[in-house]
Amino acid sequence: MEQTPAKRVPAKKTAAKKAAVKTVAKKAAAKKTAVKAAAEQTEAPRVAGKAESHTALVRRARRINRELAEVYPYAHPELDFENPFQLLVATVLSAQTTDLRVNQTTPTLFARYPTPEDLSAANPEEVEEILRPCGFFRAKTKSVIGLSKALVEQFGGEVPGRLEDLVKLPGVGRKTAFVVLGNAFGRPGITVDTHFQRLVRRWRWTAETDPDKIEAAVGALFPKADWTDLSHHVIWHGRRICHARKPACGACPIAPLCPAYGEGETDPEKAKKLLKYEKGGFPGQRLKPPQAYLDAGGRPAPPLGAVPGA
């Protein structure tokens, strides 16, 4: 049986196709090399795969804190308060919601119940109605009324300045206690909130997940006098730049020190669009922020109801 001869492809077309494939491969290789080179220039020294000594970790951690102090020289607690009692109540209310929402809610609460004596004798239903915007308002009402009663009965209506006393109050844990101690009494403490936990693990300061263990591990890297300001720097950075879902890596001032660089947007222009609060031109968390914050260009938050969906 006679076979049909195979169709021949002209040599020129075959050569052109091979040349095109080689060109595409070269472009891909060049792009990969360029990306790698850029990453090497901007990424932190990789800790993974190469053990970082404790001394090196301490140096890197303290350098990060120094650089954040330059970026946020006006960092402060982002809850509005005028006295230890207001800070204590506001911190308890801030669980599972934003400081901004708390700041928009507490003016009404403190206007009606300015002292522990007043709040301890409050009608729970009236307090619940005020705290409704903060979420979990029934549990929070129980906590703030309960801690007010404890302050009146055990401490003469005064907020105690000792950790062991604060953590005995209803709804008050170590995180809340350290916020009050550091910012109302000037006693150093580390505030391990969700932002703090996220960032210190991204920076590989610790692999712990338990807040108390994180507090101990990070505290060992810094002098005790630095703890309160360190907390502010880390939390501010977490709120403004190093977000949970879309960190703005391309706009991060400590990118060269961060082992997690590249988890978020690395393009500088795209990263800038992810910035929040004053770094992105938006108001901060407080209605009545410190003057230093305003002098640095910060903007106060709007009152409750002024920003839909805030």
Catalytic positions: 175, 193
Give me 277's structure tokens.
């609060």
Separation between Cα atoms, residue 261 and residue 71, nearest integer Å: 18
DSSP string covering 148-173: HHHHHHHHTT---SSHHHHTTSTT--
Separation between Cα atoms, residue 236 and residue 276, nearest integer Å: 10
Contacts 24+ apart (CB under 8 A), 243-250: 243/274, 243/276, 244/194, 244/198, 246/274, 247/202, 247/274, 248/272, 248/274, 248/275
278, 299 Cβ separation under 8 angstroms: yes
DSSP string covering 95-128: TTS-HHHHHHHHHHHHHH--SHHHHHTS-HHHHH
Give me 70's structure tokens.
């330059």
C-beta neighbour count of 168 within 10 angstroms: 15
The CB-side HSE value for 163 (13 A sphere, CA atoms) comes to 12
140, 105 Cβ separation under 8 angstroms: no
